[in-house]
Protein backbone atom coordinates (compact mmCIF):
# COMPACT_ATOMS: atom_id res chain seq x y z
CA UNK A 1 0.00 0.00 0.00
CA UNK A 2 1.47 3.31 -1.03
CA UNK A 3 -0.93 5.47 0.95
CA UNK A 4 0.23 7.39 3.99
CA UNK A 5 -0.74 5.23 7.00
CA UNK A 6 -3.48 6.51 9.30
CA UNK A 7 -1.31 5.35 12.21
CA UNK A 8 2.45 5.13 11.89
CA UNK A 9 4.13 4.28 15.18
CA UNK A 10 7.85 3.68 15.27
CA UNK A 11 9.65 2.42 18.35
CA UNK A 12 6.84 3.90 20.41
CA UNK A 13 7.65 3.81 24.09
CA UNK A 14 5.80 4.69 27.27
CA UNK A 15 7.39 4.53 30.69
CA UNK A 16 5.22 5.44 33.67
CA UNK A 17 6.40 6.71 37.02
CA UNK A 18 9.79 8.00 35.99
CA UNK A 19 10.22 9.36 39.56
CA UNK A 20 9.61 6.12 41.49
CA UNK A 21 9.85 2.60 40.09
CA UNK A 22 9.46 2.95 36.35
CA UNK A 23 6.90 0.77 34.57
CA UNK A 24 7.61 0.11 30.90
CA UNK A 25 4.04 0.02 29.54
CA UNK A 26 5.04 0.15 25.87
CA UNK A 27 8.38 -1.18 24.76
CA UNK A 28 9.44 -0.04 21.27
CA UNK A 29 6.21 -0.71 19.41
CA UNK A 30 6.41 -0.33 15.64
CA UNK A 31 3.07 -0.62 13.89
CA UNK A 32 1.28 0.82 10.89
CA UNK A 33 -2.45 0.91 10.27
CA UNK A 34 -3.77 1.92 6.87
CA UNK A 35 -7.00 3.60 5.92
CA UNK A 36 -9.95 1.20 5.87
CA UNK A 37 -8.40 -1.44 8.13
CA UNK A 38 -10.36 -3.09 10.93
CA UNK A 39 -7.89 -4.06 13.65
CA UNK A 40 -8.45 -5.84 16.96
CA UNK A 41 -5.91 -5.29 19.73
CA UNK A 42 -5.69 -8.17 22.20
CA UNK A 43 -3.44 -9.25 25.06
CA UNK A 44 -3.47 -9.99 28.78
CA UNK A 45 -4.41 -7.38 31.35
CA UNK A 46 -1.53 -4.95 31.78
CA UNK A 47 0.05 -5.76 28.40
CA UNK A 48 -0.14 -2.13 27.21
CA UNK A 49 -3.31 -2.06 25.08
CA UNK A 50 -4.90 1.00 26.67
CA UNK A 51 -1.55 2.76 26.84
CA UNK A 52 -1.18 2.25 23.10
CA UNK A 53 -4.72 3.45 22.39
CA UNK A 54 -4.28 6.52 24.59
CA UNK A 55 -1.10 7.46 22.73
CA UNK A 56 -2.58 7.09 19.25
CA UNK A 57 -5.74 8.87 20.43
CA UNK A 58 -3.55 11.74 21.64
CA UNK A 59 -4.90 11.39 25.16
CA UNK A 60 -1.35 10.84 26.41
CA UNK A 61 2.21 11.47 25.20
CA UNK A 62 4.90 8.89 24.47
CA UNK A 63 8.21 8.88 26.33
CA UNK A 64 10.05 7.79 23.21
CA UNK A 65 9.75 6.90 19.55
CA UNK A 66 7.71 8.61 16.88
CA UNK A 67 4.04 8.74 16.04
CA UNK A 68 2.45 10.02 12.86
CA UNK A 69 -1.27 10.27 12.33
CA UNK A 70 -2.22 10.72 8.68
CA UNK A 71 1.38 11.74 8.06
CA UNK A 72 1.40 14.39 10.80
CA UNK A 73 4.24 14.03 13.33
CA UNK A 74 2.24 14.57 16.51
CA UNK A 75 5.32 15.12 18.70
CA UNK A 76 5.88 18.42 16.92
CA UNK A 77 2.41 19.78 17.69
CA UNK A 78 1.63 22.37 20.36
CA UNK A 79 -0.99 21.36 22.97
CA UNK A 80 -3.63 23.35 21.05
CA UNK A 81 -2.73 21.69 17.77
CA UNK A 82 -2.87 18.28 19.47
CA UNK A 83 -6.35 19.04 20.73
CA UNK A 84 -7.42 20.08 17.25
CA UNK A 85 -5.99 16.95 15.61
CA UNK A 86 -7.62 14.79 18.30
CA UNK A 87 -10.95 16.49 17.78
CA UNK A 88 -10.90 16.29 13.98
CA UNK A 89 -9.19 13.02 13.20
CA UNK A 90 -9.97 10.64 16.06
CA UNK A 91 -13.16 9.36 17.61
CA UNK A 92 -12.70 7.55 20.93
CA UNK A 93 -15.12 5.04 22.47
CA UNK A 94 -14.54 3.71 26.00
CA UNK A 95 -15.75 0.66 27.91
CA UNK A 96 -17.65 2.83 30.40
CA UNK A 97 -19.31 5.05 27.73
CA UNK A 98 -18.09 8.25 29.50
CA UNK A 99 -21.25 10.25 28.79
CA UNK A 100 -22.12 13.37 30.73
CA UNK A 101 -24.98 12.66 33.12
CA UNK A 102 -27.96 15.04 33.22
CA UNK A 103 -27.13 15.88 29.63
CA UNK A 104 -29.31 14.60 26.81
CA UNK A 105 -28.04 12.20 24.16
CA UNK A 106 -28.21 15.03 21.64
CA UNK A 107 -26.15 17.40 23.80
CA UNK A 108 -23.59 14.69 24.56
CA UNK A 109 -23.08 14.15 20.84
CA UNK A 110 -22.90 17.89 20.18
CA UNK A 111 -20.01 18.38 22.62
CA UNK A 112 -17.07 17.78 20.26
CA UNK A 113 -18.64 20.25 17.84
CA UNK A 114 -18.97 22.82 20.59
CA UNK A 115 -15.21 22.51 21.17
CA UNK A 116 -14.67 22.84 17.42
CA UNK A 117 -16.58 26.13 17.38
CA UNK A 118 -19.47 24.94 15.20
CA UNK A 119 -22.69 27.03 15.32
CA UNK A 120 -25.62 25.84 17.44
CA UNK A 121 -27.80 25.05 14.44
CA UNK A 122 -25.10 23.03 12.66
CA UNK A 123 -24.23 21.25 15.91
CA UNK A 124 -27.79 20.06 16.37
CA UNK A 125 -28.07 18.97 12.73
CA UNK A 126 -24.80 17.04 12.75
CA UNK A 127 -25.59 15.41 16.13
CA UNK A 128 -29.02 14.32 14.87
CA UNK A 129 -27.41 12.80 11.78
CA UNK A 130 -24.86 10.91 13.90
CA UNK A 131 -27.54 9.62 16.29
CA UNK A 132 -29.69 8.51 13.37
CA UNK A 133 -26.66 6.76 11.88
CA UNK A 134 -26.27 4.67 15.04
CA UNK A 135 -30.00 3.90 15.16
CA UNK A 136 -30.93 6.29 17.98
CA UNK A 137 -32.93 8.86 16.04
CA UNK A 138 -35.92 8.35 18.33
CA UNK A 139 -34.07 8.76 21.63
CA UNK A 140 -32.23 12.05 21.22
CA UNK A 141 -33.83 13.84 24.16
CA UNK A 142 -33.17 11.04 26.63
CA UNK A 143 -30.67 11.33 29.47
CA UNK A 144 -28.00 8.58 29.70
CA UNK A 145 -29.73 6.99 32.74
CA UNK A 146 -32.88 6.61 30.63
CA UNK A 147 -30.99 4.50 28.08
CA UNK A 148 -29.81 0.88 28.08
CA UNK A 149 -26.10 0.08 28.11
CA UNK A 150 -26.12 -0.61 24.38
CA UNK A 151 -27.98 2.63 23.70
CA UNK A 152 -25.53 4.58 25.86
CA UNK A 153 -22.66 3.05 23.91
CA UNK A 154 -24.40 4.08 20.68
CA UNK A 155 -24.57 7.65 21.96
CA UNK A 156 -20.84 7.44 22.71
CA UNK A 157 -20.21 6.11 19.19
CA UNK A 158 -22.32 8.92 17.69
CA UNK A 159 -20.25 11.39 19.72
CA UNK A 160 -17.08 9.78 18.39
CA UNK A 161 -18.37 10.03 14.81
CA UNK A 162 -19.91 13.48 14.82
CA UNK A 163 -16.75 15.18 13.56
CA UNK A 164 -16.45 12.57 10.82
CA UNK A 165 -13.07 11.26 11.98
CA UNK A 166 -11.03 8.97 9.76
CA UNK A 167 -10.14 6.82 12.76
CA UNK A 168 -12.38 5.20 15.37
CA UNK A 169 -10.53 3.98 18.47
CA UNK A 170 -12.49 1.79 20.84
CA UNK A 171 -11.05 0.49 24.13
CA UNK A 172 -13.12 -2.57 25.15
CA UNK A 173 -16.31 -1.01 23.73
CA UNK A 174 -18.34 -4.13 24.46
CA UNK A 175 -16.75 -4.93 27.83
CA UNK A 176 -19.85 -3.77 29.76
CA UNK A 177 -22.43 -5.19 27.34
CA UNK A 178 -24.32 -8.48 27.13
CA UNK A 179 -23.75 -10.70 24.11
CA UNK A 180 -26.81 -9.52 22.16
CA UNK A 181 -25.88 -5.87 22.61
CA UNK A 182 -22.25 -6.68 21.85
CA UNK A 183 -23.32 -8.06 18.47
CA UNK A 184 -25.35 -4.90 17.74
CA UNK A 185 -22.39 -2.66 18.46
CA UNK A 186 -20.06 -4.87 16.39
CA UNK A 187 -22.47 -4.77 13.44
CA UNK A 188 -22.39 -1.00 13.69
CA UNK A 189 -18.57 -0.99 13.63
CA UNK A 190 -18.54 -3.28 10.59
CA UNK A 191 -21.05 -0.98 8.84
CA UNK A 192 -18.97 2.11 9.64
CA UNK A 193 -15.87 0.38 8.32
CA UNK A 194 -17.36 -1.18 5.20
CA UNK A 195 -19.84 1.50 4.14
CA UNK A 196 -18.24 4.66 5.48
CA UNK A 197 -14.55 3.84 5.12
CA UNK A 198 -13.78 4.50 8.79
CA UNK A 199 -10.64 2.84 10.08
CA UNK A 200 -11.42 0.90 13.26
CA UNK A 201 -8.97 -0.09 16.00
CA UNK A 202 -10.68 -1.95 18.82
CA UNK A 203 -9.32 -3.45 22.04
CA UNK A 204 -11.04 -6.59 23.29
CA UNK A 205 -10.53 -9.55 25.63
CA UNK A 206 -12.99 -11.75 23.74
CA UNK A 207 -11.82 -14.01 20.91
CA UNK A 208 -15.18 -13.88 19.13
CA UNK A 209 -15.10 -10.07 19.19
CA UNK A 210 -11.51 -9.98 17.93
CA UNK A 211 -12.43 -12.48 15.19
CA UNK A 212 -14.75 -9.90 13.61
CA UNK A 213 -11.66 -7.92 12.60
CA UNK A 214 -9.42 -8.50 9.58
CA UNK A 215 -6.25 -8.17 11.60
CA UNK A 216 -5.35 -9.03 15.18
CA UNK A 217 -2.45 -7.34 16.96
CA UNK A 218 -1.47 -9.02 20.20
CA UNK A 219 0.43 -7.21 22.93
CA UNK A 220 2.50 -8.87 25.62
CA UNK A 221 4.53 -6.97 28.20
CA UNK A 222 4.32 -3.79 26.14
CA UNK A 223 5.45 -5.40 22.89
CA UNK A 224 3.64 -6.63 19.79
CA UNK A 225 4.03 -10.42 19.76
CA UNK A 226 1.59 -11.32 16.97
CA UNK A 227 0.15 -9.42 14.02
CA UNK A 228 -2.01 -11.15 11.43
CA UNK A 229 -5.47 -12.41 10.53
CA UNK A 230 -7.59 -13.83 13.37
CA UNK A 231 -6.87 -17.53 14.04
CA UNK A 232 -9.26 -19.74 12.06
CA UNK A 233 -10.58 -21.42 15.21
CA UNK A 234 -12.00 -18.13 16.54
CA UNK A 235 -15.67 -17.79 15.56
CA UNK A 236 -16.65 -14.19 14.75
CA UNK A 237 -19.48 -12.78 16.92
CA UNK A 238 -20.96 -11.15 13.81
CA UNK A 239 -20.24 -11.70 10.12
CA UNK A 240 -18.24 -9.23 8.06
CA UNK A 241 -17.75 -9.19 4.28
CA UNK A 242 -14.11 -10.26 4.57
CA UNK A 243 -15.07 -13.51 6.30
CA UNK A 244 -16.29 -15.08 3.08
CA UNK A 245 -13.50 -16.49 0.95
CA UNK A 246 -14.81 -14.73 -2.16
CA UNK A 247 -14.38 -11.24 -0.70
CA UNK A 248 -11.35 -11.87 1.47
CA UNK A 249 -8.47 -9.56 0.63
CA UNK A 250 -5.78 -11.40 -1.27
CA UNK A 251 -2.48 -10.49 -2.77
CA UNK A 252 -2.76 -13.28 -5.32
CA UNK A 253 -4.96 -11.43 -7.78
CA UNK A 254 -4.66 -13.14 -11.13
Ligand X SMILES: Nc1ncnc2c1ncn2[C@@H]1O[C@H](COP(=O)(O)OP(=O)(O)OP(=O)(O)O)[C@@H](O)[C@H]1O
Sites of contact with Mg ion (CB under 5 A): 50
- Strands of the sheet containing 7-16, edge to edge, are 23-33, 7-16, 64-69, 72-73
Are 93 and 170 within 8 A, CB to CB? yes
DSSP states of 130-164: HHHHTT-TT-TT--GGGS-HHHHHHHHHHHHHTT-
Residue nearer to Mg ion on the CB measure, 49 or 154:
49
- Binding mask 33-72 toward ligand X (x if CB under 6 A, else -) reads ----------x-xxxxxxx---------------------
Residue nearer to ligand X on the CB measure, 50 or 163:
50
Query: CB nearest Mg ion: which residue?
Result: 50
Q: Does 213 bind ligand X (CB under 6 A)?
A: no
Name the pairing type of β-strands 64-69 and 72-73: antiparallel
Least Å distance between CB 64 and ligand X?
Answer: 15
Question: Considering only 16-24, 124-132, 143-151, 242-250, which stretch makes contact with ligand X by CB under 6 A?
Answer: 16-24
DSSP states of 51-91: HHHHHHTTSS--SEEEEEETTEEGGGS-HHHHHHHHHHHEE
165 binds, among ligand X, Mg ion, none (CB under 5 to 8 A by kind): none
- Alpha-carbon distance 70 to 110, whole Å? 25
Q: Does 16 bind ligand X (CB under 6 A)?
A: yes
Report the SS3 class of residue 5: coil
135 binds, among Mg ion, ligand X, none (CB under 5 to 8 A by kind): none
| Total binding residues toward ligand X, as defined by CB under 6 A | 12
123 binds, among Mg ion, ligand X, none (CB under 5 to 8 A by kind): none
CA angle 79, 83, 87 (to 5 degrees): 170
Are 1 and 178 within 8 A, CB to CB? no
Residue nearer to Mg ion on the CB measure, 50 or 199:
50
Query: Considering only CA atoms, which of 128, 125, 124, 145 is closest in space to residue 137?
Result: 128
**The residue count for the chain:** 254
Least Å distance between CB 173 and Mg ion?
Answer: 12
Least Å distance between CB 221 and ligand X?
Answer: 9
- Alpha-carbon distance 127 to 110, whole Å? 5
195 binds, among Mg ion, ligand X, none (CB under 5 to 8 A by kind): none
25 binds, among Mg ion, ligand X, none (CB under 5 to 8 A by kind): ligand X
16 binds, among ligand X, Mg ion, none (CB under 5 to 8 A by kind): ligand X
Least Å distance between CB 24 and ligand X?
Answer: 8
Which spans of this chain sit near ligand X (rule: CB under 6 A)? Answer: 16-17, 23, 25, 43, 45-51
Amino acid sequence: MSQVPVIDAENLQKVYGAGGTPVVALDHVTLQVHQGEFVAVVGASGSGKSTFMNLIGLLDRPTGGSLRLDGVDVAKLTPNQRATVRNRKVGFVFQGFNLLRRTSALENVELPLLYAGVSAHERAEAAKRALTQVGLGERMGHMPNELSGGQQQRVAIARALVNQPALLLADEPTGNLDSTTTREILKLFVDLNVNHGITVVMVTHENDVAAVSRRVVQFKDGRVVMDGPPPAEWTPAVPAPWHTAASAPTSEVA
